[in-house]
Amino acid sequence: MRTALLLSVLVHALLLSLSFGGQGLGLPGLDLPWRERRFEADELRVVLEPAPAPALAPATAPAWVEPSVDGEPIPPAKAEPRAATDARAVPEAMAVVAPAASSAPDQVAAPPVPAPPIPAPAVMAVERSVVPAPVVPVAPLVPTPVIAAAPTAKAPEAVASAPQEVGDAAQKQIEDEAKEVREAKEAREAKERALEQAKLDRAKQEEQRQAQQAEAARQVAEQTEAARLEAERLEAARAAVARREAARAETERLEAARQAAARQEAERVEAARVEAERLEAARQAVARKEAARVAAERQEAARQAAVRQEAERIEAARLEGERQEAARQEQARQAAAAQEKARQVAARAEEDAKRDAVRRAMGRQLDEEAARRDAAARAAGPTSTLPYSWSSPRRGRLFGRTDPNSELILYGEAWSRKIELNMTFDMVREAAKERHTHPLVTVALRSDGSVESVTFVVSSGVPAIDEAIRRIVQSQAPYPAFSPALARQFDVIEIRRSWHFDMAVRLF
């Protein structure tokens, strides 16, 4: 419980330290990352200017060089023309007449014509966007090239003063433009330094914030680890205390068990001693009783021996008289039994003679009928189906496996099993390899189990197979005699089966 309570307090402290939308202890708050601005962006300024006027083609290139922004002279080839779209452009300089060695003395430069003033650009203020605005670089300020005007015919007195005035105006214009260029460059550099310093400050602030967050996370991790270690230490201490308590309890239990075992052993030894003493006393009492009983039995035995001897003598006399009477009666019984046996033997012999005469007469009659049927069958051919002639002996037929007489079905199944289960297939093994049809055979059996006839209703088409079937039927004779119930109904039973040969003889 203490460990669970400590872990619950730590988890709740971490949950309470979370700040929604702020920095808190440096843990990430529930705020969108793009809502925080990483650095200050410049404002977007849009300048609208009129279309530039077409430039005049210079008649003669100026003979002087323009000063650069830093005051160094720049060759005419490297000097860049001033942009027409500059918002801080100065008025156009007056044109001058470049002296040429080959020009006529009567040609003079035209007086400088002042350029029309450029109106101040309209500035449109827009609302600061959340997305950082792109920084548009300021176009460099370069001096406007001086375009010479076409020479015109002037009065001779204006030609002398024109070069000096034009030179002073151009020099002043160049100095003003160089000053403006330097001021613009210094302002731009100052602004760039301010932006760079702001970026550096923001980067430092971000690094400090990240460092603070990392330090806070590290402190929280250290506190959590310390709490975990403290919990583990407390758990280990509690486990050690529990182990010591368990060991002490186990020691006490073992000691109590040992003492209980010792007490039980002492009680058992004492009980065994008491039991031994009781058994010894009982044994001695039994021994005394046994000695008294033996003495009494000895006396009784002596008395009974005398009585027995007297009784044996009287019994021997009685048995001798009975033996003599039994011998006399046995002689009389044996004489009567001999006379009865002689009479029974004579009656049995007479009955057997009569039964043998009846059986011989019945067998002769059945043999004659079978011979007549065989002769008629041989005369009609192997494929003829002659109707069976019913003679005076009672005949039963089983031409399938169903019949109302259950005794007849049982006898037919017993006869079929005797044909199938004995080694009769060897007699027809070689002949059965020839192509043949399944023969349909009727076997007539007498009441004593002898075979009366074997008739082929459907021949196999192979004489060797038909002859093998006859041999098989004759080889298993005699078959079981009819049961008493079956013998009271029939003298001859005809069983018809379809013979099949695969690995053995099968009757269907």
Q: Which residue has the higher pLDDT, 270 or 106?
A: 270
| Confidence bin at 468 (pLDDT 50/70/90) | very high
Q: Which residue has the higher pLDDT, 437 or 99?
A: 437
**Residue 409 confidence (pLDDT) above 70:** yes
**In a domain? residue 115:** yes
pLDDT value at residue 458: 92
| Confidence bin at 125 (pLDDT 50/70/90) | low
**In a domain? residue 10:** yes
Do residue 198 and residue 221 come from a single domain?
A: yes
pLDDT value at residue 60: 45
Give the CATH number for residue 415.
3.30.1150
**In a domain? residue 355:** no
Taking alpha carbons only, the member of 418, 413, 410, 397 closest to residue 474 is: 418
Do residue 52 and residue 161 come from a single domain?
A: yes
pLDDT value at residue 358: 65
Q: Which residue has the higher pLDDT, 315 or 56?
A: 315
Taking alpha carbons only, the member of 393, 410, 392, 390 closest to residue 401 is: 410
**Residue 21 confidence (pLDDT) above 80:** no
In this structure, are residues 95 and 146 in contact, taking their beta carbons and an 8 Å threshold? yes
pTM: 0.29
pLDDT value at residue 104: 39
Point out the least confidently predicted range of 95-99, 176-180, 337-341, 485-489.
Answer: 95-99
Do residue 136 and residue 157 come from a single domain?
A: yes
Do residue 11 and residue 71 come from a single domain?
A: no
**In a domain? residue 264:** no
Task: Please state, as a whole number, how many other Cβ atoms lie within 10 Å of the Cβ of residue 41.
Answer: 16
Point out the least confidently predicted range of 76-80, 206-210, 230-234, 265-269.
Answer: 76-80
Taking alpha carbons only, the member of 60, 81, 58, 64 closest to residue 171 is: 64
Beta strand 492-501 pairing with 395-398: parallel
Do residue 24 and residue 46 come from a single domain?
A: no
Structural domains of the chain, count = 3
Do residue 29 and residue 85 come from a single domain?
A: no
**In a domain? residue 193:** yes
Do residue 154 and residue 221 come from a single domain?
A: yes
Q: Which residue has the higher pLDDT, 89 or 123?
A: 123
Beta bridge partners of 506: 500
**In a domain? residue 298:** no
**In a domain? residue 105:** yes
Do residue 46 and residue 29 come from a single domain?
A: no
| Confidence bin at 377 (pLDDT 50/70/90) | low
In this structure, are residues 82 and 142 in contact, taking their beta carbons and an 8 Å threshold? yes
**Residue 506 confidence (pLDDT) above 80:** yes
Q: What does the DSSP assignment read for 244-282? A: HHHHHHHHHHHHHHHHHHHHHHHHHHHHHHHHHHHHHHH
User: What is the extent of the structural domain holding 427?
Assistant: 391-507
**High-pLDDT (> 90) share of the chain, %:** 29
Do residue 68 and residue 186 come from a single domain?
A: yes
